[in-house]
């Protein structure tokens, strides 16, 4: 054994574990697996043509939804109650006489759908900055309004059929609940523990460290930072963070909202440019709990957005969370540093508009052909 040469650790070559302080869990990084040939499932390529207005699409202006209601002829954002809500405000209480192995609790809330834009053939990176600001303003308004009653307001967007989104029209959902869901509850506990031990919000310190290291930064500005987190599970997962201490999205200043619109467009343009498709993902905002928590000290919290895209090798090969991931722990192949470098080096002009600037006008640049 003494004759064996000691091998130096290389994160791009040698498997290792990384700690996720937001979830108190570990992820297995196995970068060497990217060398293996792929003979698994290949997804259907994304829809190549989406009409600007589809008379049969229930999210388009002027169209009739499943419940018979007719959408207004909206020209900006449009908010309505989900026609098939997972949460309703008046569900009965299951009662307290329960066996410890068969517990249930009351679940009440509201579910809303919010369209970003009247056109079906645009997405956030192709919208004008001021149009994205209007989306952010509406998000903030909803957190302010629903947060007076509900402990948690979850804003999330599922983009693309690969993420289970059945409608290509640009939209998100907002669910407000009378309980703190599992993921924010775990994040609350982890951020609180870190704050009590170190005297500074976990994600505020993390953003500062990542801004200094640079190796996982994708895009940044004076107010915002987007990184592939050190503990990322999904191949091109990103974490979007404000640079100053902010508890909730409705606490952002007018200037920070403008900066957020800009950095979202930059990040999502890079996503689309990676495989030159409308990049699928699930994303959502996490901020300090609301409702009764508005009266409590939530200094340990820091506003942030998670982006979870499934694609791994190409527009048609995605990462599967199965087997080991379901039964043991999260695992990834590509290192976060490799993923960040790929995204960082991509152009910030969208592939759909590249070379067509001379045609002028955002309407021309946003035409739906890929």
Residue 161 annotated as binding site: no
Residue 236, annotated as binding a ligand: no
- Check whether 262 is labelled as a binding-site residue: no
Query: How far is it, in rounded angstroms, from Cα 133 to Cα 330?
Result: 35
The span from the CA of 115 to the CA of 121, in Å, is 13
Say which residue the tokens 């004759």 belong to: 3
Question: E strand or H helix at 331, and its extent?
Answer: strand 330-332
The length of the chain is 370
Q: Is 111 annotated as a binding residue?
A: no
Please check if 127 is assigned to a binding site: no
Asked if residue 4 belongs to a known ligand binding site, the reply is no
The reply to whether 171 belongs to the active site is yes
The answer to whether 324 is annotated as binding is yes
Report whether 351 belongs to an annotated binding site.
no
178 annotated ligand binder: no
CB count, 10 Å around CB of 279? Answer: 25
Q: Does 128 carry a binding-site annotation?
A: no
| Three-class SS state of 124 | helix
The 10 Å Cβ neighbour count of residue 216 is 24
User: 26 — phi, psi (to 5°)?
Assistant: -120, 150
- Supply the angle between the helices 336-344 and 254-275 in degrees, to the nearest 10: 100
Q: Output phi, psi for 369, to 5 deg.
A: -65, 140
How many angstroms separate the CA atoms of 69 and 58, rounded?
A: 10
The response to whether 165 counts as a known ligand-binding position is yes
Catalytic residue among 16, 99, 169, 171: 171
Stated as kind and residue range, the H or E segment containing 209 is helix 202-213
88 annotated to a ligand binding site: no
| Residue 108 assigned to a binding site | no
Which residues belong to the active site?
A: 171
Binding residues: 33-36, 66, 82-83, 158, 164-166, 173, 319-320, 324-325, 331
Binding residues for UDP-alpha-D-glucose: 33-36, 66, 82-83, 158, 164-166, 173, 319-320, 324-325, 331
């Amino acid at each position: 054994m003494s004759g064996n040469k000691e091998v130096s650790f290389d994160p791009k070559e040698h498997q290792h574990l990384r700690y996720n302080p937001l979830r108190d869990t570990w992820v297995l990084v196995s970068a060497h697996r990217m060398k293996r040939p792929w003979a698994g499932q290949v997804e259907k390529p994304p829809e190549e043509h989406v009409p600007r207005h589809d008379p049969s699409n229930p999210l388009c202006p002027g169209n009739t939804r499943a419940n018979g209601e007719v959408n207004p002829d909206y020209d900006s954002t449009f908010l309505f109650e989900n026609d098939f809500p997972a949460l309703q405000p008046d569900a009965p209480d299951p009662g307290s006489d329960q066996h410890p192995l068969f517990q249930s609790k009351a679940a009440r809330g509201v579910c809303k759908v919010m369209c970003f834009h009247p056109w079906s053939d645009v997405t956030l990176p192709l919208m004008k900055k001021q149009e994205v600001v209007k989306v952010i303003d509406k998000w903030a308004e909803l957190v302010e309004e629903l947060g007076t009653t509900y402990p948690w307001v979850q804003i999330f967007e599922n983009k693309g059929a690969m993420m289970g989104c059945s409608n290509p029209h640009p939209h998100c959902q907002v669910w407000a609940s009378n309980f703190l869901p599992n993921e924010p509850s775990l994040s609350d506990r982890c951020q609180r523990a870190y704050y009590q031990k170190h005297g500074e919000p976990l994600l505020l310190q993390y953003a500062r460290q990542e801004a200094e290291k640079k190796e996982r930064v994708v895009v940044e500005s004076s107010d915002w930072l987007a990184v592939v987190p050190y503990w990322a599970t999904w191949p091109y997962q990103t974490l979007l963070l404000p640079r100053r201490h902010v508890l909730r999205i409705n606490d952002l200043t007018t200037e920070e909202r403008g900066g957020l619109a800009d950095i979202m467009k930059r990040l999502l343009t890079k996503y689309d440019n990676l495989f030159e498709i409308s990049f699928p993902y699930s994303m959502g905002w996490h901020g300090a709990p609301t409702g009764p928590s508005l009266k409590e000290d939530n200094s340990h919290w820091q506003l942030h957005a998670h982006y979870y895209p499934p694609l791994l090798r190409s527009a048609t090969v995605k990462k599967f969370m199965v087997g080991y991931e379901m039964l043991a722990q999260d695992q990834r192949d590509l290192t976060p540093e490799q993923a960040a470098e790929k995204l960082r080096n991509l152009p910030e002009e969208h592939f759909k508009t590249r070379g067509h600037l001379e045609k002028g006008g955002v309407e021309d640049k946003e035409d739906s052909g890929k």
